[in-house]
Amino acid sequence: MRVHTALLLGLAAAGPLVADAADTFAPTLYRATIETGLPHLEENLRYATTRETLCLGERQFATAFPILRHVALAGCTLGDARTQADTISYTLRCAPGSETTGAAHWRVEPAGLIGTLDVKLGAKNMTLYQRISGSAVGACTPGD
């Protein structure tokens, strides 16, 4: 009985530490620039840039890149998050049979962030990237 009680108390004490670790990068409102680059295209078609205000935190990083919603990346998601200091990295995982590969890396600092998704479309042997860079402008709640 004492072992079970000690185990339960230990787990209860560890609970808040686990929750804090999950929110290492708390949601923040950013004035963001989203740049998409396709180096294999002609010079005038190579880059596309948009600007948005985004509420981003660790829980949004894996889905923040708009290119992930494009039909060319259907069946692909970012997963296997690895956090180290002010950086979080993901692996691009695609449906079985897809030769598409890639990775995303976010660097978060008090004044802003930069995230880059690098993709190699396997069947076409083409590469592209999408970069989100932003300046922090305040606090936010995802879904606002």
38-77 tens-digit pLDDT: 876 655 556 789 999 999 999 999 999 999 999 989 999 9
Strand 28-37: give its sheet, edge to edge. Answer: 47-56, 28-37, 126-139, 112-121, 101-109, 87-93, 77-84
Q: What is the tens place of the pLDDT at every residue in 103-113?
A: 999 999 988 99
Average pLDDT (28-45) is 81
Q: Which domains does the chain have, with CATH numbers?
A: 25-139 (2.40.160)
The pLDDT of residue 7 is 28
Q: Which of 111, 104, 110 is nearest to 132 (CA)?
A: 104
In what helix (H) or strand (E) does residue 77 lie, and over which residues does it extend? strand 77-84
CA 18/CA 63 separation, integer angstroms: 22
**Confidence grade of residue 1 (pLDDT, cut at 50, 70, 90):** very low
Model pTM? 0.79
